[in-house]
Amino acid sequence: MSARTDPSTAPAEPLSFTATAEQAGERLDRAFAGMGGLSRSRVKALVEAGHAARDGTPTTDPSESLRSGARYTLSVPPPEPATPLPQAMDLTILYEDRDLIVLDKPAGLVVHPAPGHQDGTLVNAILAHAGEDLSGIGGEKRPGIVHRLDKETSGVMVVAKTEAAHQALSTAFAERDLDRSYLALAWGTPSPVSGSVEAPVGRHPADRKRMAVVPRGKHALTHYATERAWGAACSLLRCRLATGRTHQIRVHMAHIGHPLVGDPVYLRRTPGSAKLLPPAARDALLSFPRQALHAQSLGFNHPITGRPLSFSTPIPPDMAALITALDTPESP
């Protein structure tokens, strides 16, 4: 019996055409755009990846000008599976039942597959850990991500295992019917030492990879309280979210002049308050490789039973080391 090829994974027939005199000078990617339903950006990526040829000779320049009479081909590989693959990883599970998992996410772990992070994510790890127990969400056997932490933010997360739990938890997060707090090390000491920041958050007008306080942004409210302060140099803040905007705490603290220690996006220059610290502590804080932000606690009602649940985790070792450095007196 001959093997049969799965049509979903079989490569498509190469796209091809012979350039006419009228097409001479047109960009290669523009000429292929629309053929086979491909967008120009998709064509550009395929050309740069080496899937195009002119008269049988590979070309990787999407802007190449067509030559009259030349034969151009573009091979279109089969799409990669959209469903993330299970990947075993060590996870710190705080609680698990048939409906959900609560875990302590480490800094450096991406939550969901995305361009640049197609694997090695929390979703991949959950699929390996609880794949057989996932009853299906949105027609796929996958975990339900109801909230996210930035890659370099550590702390408590809840993940749904069933459709019913996913819907109920999504509603709870949307309606803020839960309690969650974060610990953050920020430069300087806010005045007042406890208060709220209410400022709309949206995409930065000049840098789409950043968020910012902008007039037409979404309503955002952060409550903060100073847990500890090291003079006017640095403070440990407890932040509670009344809304859940992207990078909200990081944006709001930077907005009031107290960016988070180590923040690679919103700490734009060396803060003046760093000069108030002893050299060893100053060096430790200035060289910290991530935003010093930890989702310390999360409380919510169980999405199925309604039972109150509450979880907390200690501050992670790298942030604890910063506090130790701040507490260590300078040697005479």
The three-state secondary structure class of 9 is coil
Q: 327, 313, 316: which is closest to 108 by C-alpha?
A: 316
Q: Check whether the bond before 192 is cis (ω within 30° of 0).
A: yes
Q: Which CA distances in Å does 164 have to 141, 272, 301, 306?
A: 14, 50, 14, 13
Q: Is 150 a catalytic residue?
A: yes
Q: Where are the beta strands (DSSP E) in 82-233?
A: 92-96, 100-105, 144-145, 154-160, 179-187, 194-198, 201-203, 211-213, 221-230
- Tokens 């606690």 belong to 297
Strand-strand pairing, 194-198 and 201-203: unpaired
Amino acid at 315: I
Catalytic residue among 29, 104, 150, 263: 150
3-state helix, strand, coil in the chain (%, to 5): 20, 30, 50
Q: 99, 124, 129, 130: which is closest to 109 by C-alpha?
A: 124
CB 221 within 8 A of CB 198: yes
Catalytic residues: 150
